[in-house]
Amino acid sequence: LSEPSTVLAFNLGNGAVPGEQVKKDENSRRGNWGNQIEFVLTSVGYAVGLGNVWRFPYLCYRNGGGAFMFPYFIMLVFCGIPLFFLELSFGQFTSLGCLGVWKVSPMFKGVGYGMMVVSTYIGIYYNVVICIAFYYFFMSMTNLLPWTYCNNPWNTPDCTGVIGTPRTNATFANVSAVVSGLTEIVNRTKRTSPSEEYWRNYVLNVSDGIGNFGEVRLPILGCLAVSWVVVFLCLIRGVKSSGKVVYFTATFPYVVLTILFIRGITLEGAVSGIKYYLTPQWEKILDAKVWGDAASQIFYSLGCAWGGLITMASYNKFHNNCFRDSIIISVTNCGTSVYAGFVIFSILGFMANHLGVDVSEVADHGPGLAFVAYPEALTLLPISPLWSLLFFFMLILLGLGTQFCLLETLVTAVVDEIGTDWIIKNKTYVTLGVAIVGFLLGVPLTTQAGIYWLLLMDNYAASFSLVVVSCIMCICIMYVYGHKNYFKDVEMMLGFPPPLFFRICWRYVSPFIITFILIFTVIQYKPITYNDYVYPRWSLVIGFAMALSSVICIPIYALFKIAVSEGSTFLERLKNSVKPDPDWGPALQEHRKGRYATAGPESVEVCPLKEKLKDEGKEKLKEKETEKKDEMGLTIPGSNGSTLNPTPSA
């Protein structure tokens, strides 16, 4: 009780120190994460998505099983983690979203608009996938999964179930029919399962082509509304609310994965599935396609160039160790992919054993794995509705974790760009507006032609455009702004310069790998198909237009910025357009040291001057009140009737 701070802490009952509020945001105007765990969990939820469950396992067994792990982890070390660290440090240094950060070189602000376009496309169709998972989740709340048998109105004569048809009075003839049915499955080159027909004929009721929209599938539309409402409610207070939600959405999928893994490895035939998943085919190491797939998977899986990493990091405190975070999140993401592969292939191995076929004949990728192959395998398990509920609940949570960040990326970009006090205070309305627009744009994807458009957007809108955006970002930061300047910025923020390995990767290795991915993507290009359906040429033109719509933002804005910049000649305007803005740098004046000490105008202060003066006045009043409380608290009667006053009287 001899220290005034202790007395004040005792009086306040919260352990605070004088003049400081508990858990006060560093950036009071914009806000920060509640704590660093929330940021890490949100970033893990963003990076770990549906692709970890349905894309990685498929790529792994298609490209040499365990041999694919070698190029995969090499690409993680030399491209994935460096790019992840670059984007986190970029957003954290300026405390701005994917548009505001380009004060570093205003001519390149089109890169930020390109990120917004990509996030918009992905956000639209990603929530449609989530809503279908919601639909399957609701339909699993039954004693018998509806895709178990072929005796439904939506089934065709070609449908053949893996466990026959339910009958009340089984006879020897019935058993013979079931055996002959299973024999027919084995002998067929292509079988139509009840889960496939449920997906195609009932859930989607797919039309005959991308141009035939047909009717809106009302159950899917309803689930889409539910999905957007859930996303909005979780983001209603920005990172303050989403940071609390991710404690569940980012961790519970691992609980479900573990439950499914334990169940999967106890099934007959699971070992054969895992062996198929991991057995290395070392001859494929020399195949350029394997390296291209590994690089692409790392690049897309981590969510680079979507703008989400920059946005999430912008809510960090200035001196947060984002270097440590980037390694933790990247390794967790890739570890989840490998772990999910064990879960998926243990179940597929069981299914292959049950049917008497090879694992390659039951394995699939993309939506086909999540909504056809895996649901069919679930029907073979005891208490199948329970496992179905768990699986689709996991898909929902994996999807929502990514969707939170996609929506927050768009909202933050709009709020930072306008930047007025009103829009900052009413950010909830911006979130609501973006959610409503996203829902309306997603309605066409709930029609009978929706699956065609969804796959078109997935293959074109978020393909090579991401690679181009990421490559230009590296060039801008390392060569236009200058690598030495950026290394100093990182050192000022973290207290230590970027490790030598990352400096080399940022300048040389990562851009080289990104260029390799771009060239490989162009060489490997094949027109998109859906089962036996070949997309018409006009739809492919639309796909390329979507892909170019994000890239075209970069040269258009660059030309605009050059045109409006000061200067009498083109070279002068070009030079001025790439110069950092006067207020480029840390958002808070207290962090603007060294070359930033006098670089920024007064507008970089978090609060206007009047508000600052008010705050100073309040602080003085608080100090006076604190002194009075200290004097009262420090005069405490002792047990012998004396007073415990540490200051002796004269």
Feature table: binding site for Na(+): 45, 47-48, 52, 301, 333, 398
Pinpoint the alpha helices (H) of 48-170. Answer: 50-54, 56-62, 69-75, 81-94, 109-139
Residue 442 contacts residue 224 (beta carbons within 8 Å): yes
Closest CA to 53 of 389, 343, 379: 343
CA distances from residue 441 to 224, 261, 434, 541 in whole angstroms, order as listed:
11, 37, 11, 20
Residue in this structure with the two tokens 């808070």, named with its chain if needed: 588
Residue 591 contacts residue 318 (beta carbons within 8 Å): yes
| d(C-alpha 40, C-alpha 243), whole Å | 10
* 10 three-state secondary structure: helix
| d(C-alpha 550, C-alpha 556), whole Å | 11
The two tokens of residue 110 are: 């089109």
Residue 589 contacts residue 605 (beta carbons within 8 Å): yes
Distance of CA 414 to the CA centre of its chain: 19
For residue 632, list its beta bridge partners: none
Residue 134 contacts residue 227 (beta carbons within 8 Å): yes
| d(C-alpha 301, C-alpha 59), whole Å | 13
Annotated binding site: 45, 47-48, 52, 301, 333, 398
* DSSP, res 17: P
| 329: alpha, beta or left? (left if phi > 0; alpha if psi -120 to 50) | alpha
Residue 395 contacts residue 252 (beta carbons within 8 Å): no
For residue 530, list its beta bridge partners: 533
- The answer for residues whose C-beta is within 8 angstroms of residue 2's C-beta and 6 or more apart is 634, 646
| d(C-alpha 175, C-alpha 610), whole Å | 86
The two tokens of residue 337 are: 């992919």
Residue 413 contacts residue 112 (beta carbons within 8 Å): yes
| d(C-alpha 509, C-alpha 2), whole Å | 59
The two tokens of residue 159 are: 């449908």
Closest CA to 62 of 297, 281, 275: 281
Q: How many Cα atoms occupy the beta-carbon half-sphere of 23 within 13 Å?
A: 6
Residue in this structure with the two tokens 């509304």, named with its chain if needed: 225
Q: What is the 3-state secondary structure (H, E, C) of 405-438?
A: HHHHHHHHHHHHHHCCHHHHHCHHHHHHHHHHHH
Q: b/e for 272-282, b at 16 or more Cβ within 10 A? A: bbbebbbeeee
Closest CA to 204 of 245, 247, 154, 165: 154
